[in-house]
Amino acid sequence: MTAIVKRPVKDPMLALFDEFFRPMVPTLENQMGRLVVPAVNIIEDEKGVEIDVAAPGLKKDDFEIKVEDNILTISAHKEQEKLEEGANYIKKEFGYETFQRSFTLPENMFDTDKIEAKYEDGILKIYIPKVEEQQKKVKKVKVK
C-alpha cells in the first residue's frame, strides 16, 4: 500500500495545535472562530484511492480541490448571514466556515487529470485513479 502523506498547515503554530489537539477537534472553523479540521478516510485499491472528507452543512460550490507539484489540497469556504428580529431590535450575525487539508501524492503513481469528486450526505468523496502502468504492476503470488 502506498502512503498518501498529510501536509502540515502553512502556519507552524496552527500545525502544532492541529497535531496536538487532533482527537478533540472534529470539523470546520465554527461560528466562534475556533479552528477545527474535518475528519478524513482514505481507502486504496488496485485502481486508485478514494478520500472521504466529513464536511456537513456545505454545498458542492463551497469546495476547491487542486493538485500542484503532487500536493492535493482540499479547501472549503462558506459565509453565512443570520438575521434575527425581535420586538425592538434587529441583530445580524455573520458566520464563516473554512478549512484546508493537504496531502502529498506519490510521484508518477496517480493520474491527477482524471480526478473525480462528488458531495452527498455531508461527505465529499474524491477519487484519484492510479496511472494505468501502476494498475498493471499489481501481481499476486500464491504461496505453496
Residues 46-77: tens digit of each pLDDT:
899 999 999 888 889 999 999 999 899 999 98
> Average pLDDT, stretch 82-98?
64
How many percent of the chain have pLDDT more than 70?
Answer: 59
Give the phi and the psi of residue 100 in degrees, each rounded to 5.
-150, 130
* Residue written as grid cell 494498475: 135
Beta bridge partners of 27: none
pLDDT averaged over the chain? 75
Among the four given CATH numbers 3.40.50.1820, 3.30.230.30, 2.60.40.790, 1.10.3720.10, the one describing domain 5-136: 2.60.40.790
Q: Count Cβ atoms below 10 Å from residue 25 Cβ, excluding itself.
A: 15
Predicted TM-score (pTM) of the model is 0.63
Residue pair 109/131 in contact (Cβ under 8 Å)? The answer is yes
Domain range annotation of the chain? 5-136
Local structure of 139: helix, strand or coil: coil
Closest CA to 127 of 15, 45, 25: 45
